[in-house]
Amino acid sequence: MINRGEDKPPSRPMKRYWKVAVVANIKDDSKPRPEGVPPDAFADFDHIETVDAIRAAIETDGHQTVFLHADADLPYTLREVKPDICFNIAEGLGGDAREAQVPALLELLRIPYTGSRVLTNGISLDKTLTKRIWRDRRLPVAPFQEFTAGDEPLRPELKFPLFVKPAREGTGMGVDLKAIVKNEKEMRERILYIINTYQQPALVETFLPGREFTVGILGRADAKLYSRHPEWYEKDGFHRFPVLELDSSRSVTPNVYSQASKSKEVGEEGAPDYVCPANLDPELERKLKHFALRAHQLLYALDVSRTDIRLDEEGNPRLLEINTLPGLTPDYSDLCLQAKAEGIRYEDLILEILYLGASRWGMVAPRELPPSHSAKK
């Protein structure tokens, strides 16, 4: 039988307190960048301060934590440490599906972990494949085309200006003001730059001139059974975070949400303006949250995700990409800003992600439903 993301992995013995390993790739700004890698290589890695914050949040509920580097020694350190569960935020070390590396290893070793599983993390980093899935299931995406050689003819539905970026990167890598191309010559130059610099295909899509948003999703159909905050969830078991608007008009790359602008601290000069909750009419807000949830479900994402959406010239939402490993830096990462805007403490957000993941492995007992809820079953 095909094992999709909603299938439950083998259960683990239930106990109150766990040894939780936070697995991550860490930035080391003190080391010189290796020769031959892109200028923004490792931009999606986490700072050790983020790991420390996650560990501190988990420890507030009595668990023991340890940090494990997601490097080539991880199989050996996992066997040595023997964690009950891994809180996975690892981006991986190269390759088309690098975000799936740690989940694949953990499943091989039968170690529980948080977040989406192997197939979802492998697909979601591939923007072209993700857009094809969404498009085929009638979710709105801008016209797009992947270039692997650089000399492929441009499809007639793609009209200038266009936007060019790496097909398999995140965190705004490979995105700057030159990503917007206005003619054939600029497009070909940018495509070749992406292919040669990032050693992967280039994704070309219609440039969307409208407002940009991101929407976080938390939960699953039975989330209320295992959550310590069942009031967060709607009847379908999912929590839609407040819509966050990313206003890059005054950033270092005006109207382009680039890696350079993302690297700025919130409120710093040259950083985007983060507006949460975004000022939206009710119908647009409903559409954005609906599309984010459908994007999450169609890729079989688990526990948590964040979907980026931008408006076209007529004000219609178009899905950009989904992040199944959303950043979790307090007071900085988009998802954390969304949680804070509705009064969710950082500690509660981290613990909720932990317990949602653990419940899939039989590590959390379901709560008793009130009689009114049970009667509806």
Q: Kindly state the percentage of the chain with pLDDT values over 70.
A: 94
> Looking at per-residue confidence, does 375 or 32 come out higher?
32
Tokens of 193: 């730059």
- Whether the per-residue pLDDT at 107 is higher than 60: the answer is yes
Tens digit of each residue's pLDDT (9 = 90 or more) over 214-244: 999 999 999 999 999 999 999 999 999 999 9
Claim to verify: residue 201 and residue 323 sit in the same structural domain: no
Where does the pLDDT of residue 11 fall: very low under 50, low under 70, confident under 90, or very high at 90 and above?
A: low
Residues 227 and 258 in one domain: yes
- In this prediction, residue 8 carries a pLDDT of 57
- For 83, the token pair is 């964690």
pLDDT-wise least confident of 38-52, 220-234, 351-365: 38-52
Write down the pLDDT at residue 118. Answer: 97
Same domain, 31 and 109: yes
Of 4-18, 60-74, 316-330, the one with minimum mean pLDDT is 4-18
Residues 221, 348, single domain; the answer is: yes
Asked whether residue 129 is domain-assigned, the answer is no
Confidence of residue 49 (pLDDT cuts 50, 70, 90): very high
Question: What pLDDT, in 10s, does the model give residues 331-345?
Answer: 999 999 999 999 999
- The mean predicted confidence, pLDDT, of the chain is 92
191, HSE (Cβ side, Cα atoms, 13 Å): 22
For residue 94, the domain's CATH number is 3.40.50.20
Q: Determine contact, residues 164/202, Cβ cutoff 8 Å.
A: yes
Residue where a domain terminates, one of 191, 206, 221: 206
Count the helices and strands in the chain (H runs, E runs).
12, 13
Backbone angles phi, psi at 167, to 5 degrees: -80, -20
DSSP calls for 9-23: PPP----SS-EEEEE
The radius of gyration computed from the CA coordinates of the chain, to the nearest angstrom, equals 21
pLDDT confidence of residue 369: 46
Give residue 301's domain range: 212-367
pLDDT at res. 95: 84
pLDDT value at position 373?
A: 40
When pLDDT is averaged across residues 13-35 and rounded to a whole number, the result is 84
pLDDT reading at 377 higher than 70: no
Q: Alpha-carbon distance 33 to 189, whole Å?
A: 25
Provide mean pLDDT across the span 152-164. Answer: 98
Q: Identify which has the larger pLDDT, 337 or 370.
A: 337
- For residue range 54-73, list pLDDT tens digits in order: 999 999 999 999 999 999 99
Q: Let me know if residue 321 belongs to a domain.
A: yes
| Integer Cα distance of 253 and 147 in angstroms | 25
Query: Please, which residues bridge with residue 181 across strands?
Result: 162
Domain membership of residue 375 (yes or no) is: no
Within this chain, do residues 229 and 103 fall inside the same structural domain, yes or no? no
Based on the domain organization, do 347 and 219 belong to the same domain? Answer: yes
pTM, to two decimals: 0.92
**pLDDT single digits (tens) 264-275:** 899 999 999 999
Could you tell me which of 89, 145, 119, 146 has the C-alpha nearest to residue 298?
Answer: 119
How many domains does the chain divide into? Answer: 3
**Residue type at 190 in one-letter notation:** R
Q: What is the pLDDT of residue 2?
A: 41
Residue 376 pLDDT > 90: no
CATH number, domain at 228? Answer: 3.30.470.20
User: Could you tell me if residue 54 is inside a domain?
Assistant: yes
Between 29-33, 161-165, 266-270, 319-323, the lowest mean confidence (pLDDT) is in 29-33
- The verdict on 160 and 290 lying in the same domain is no
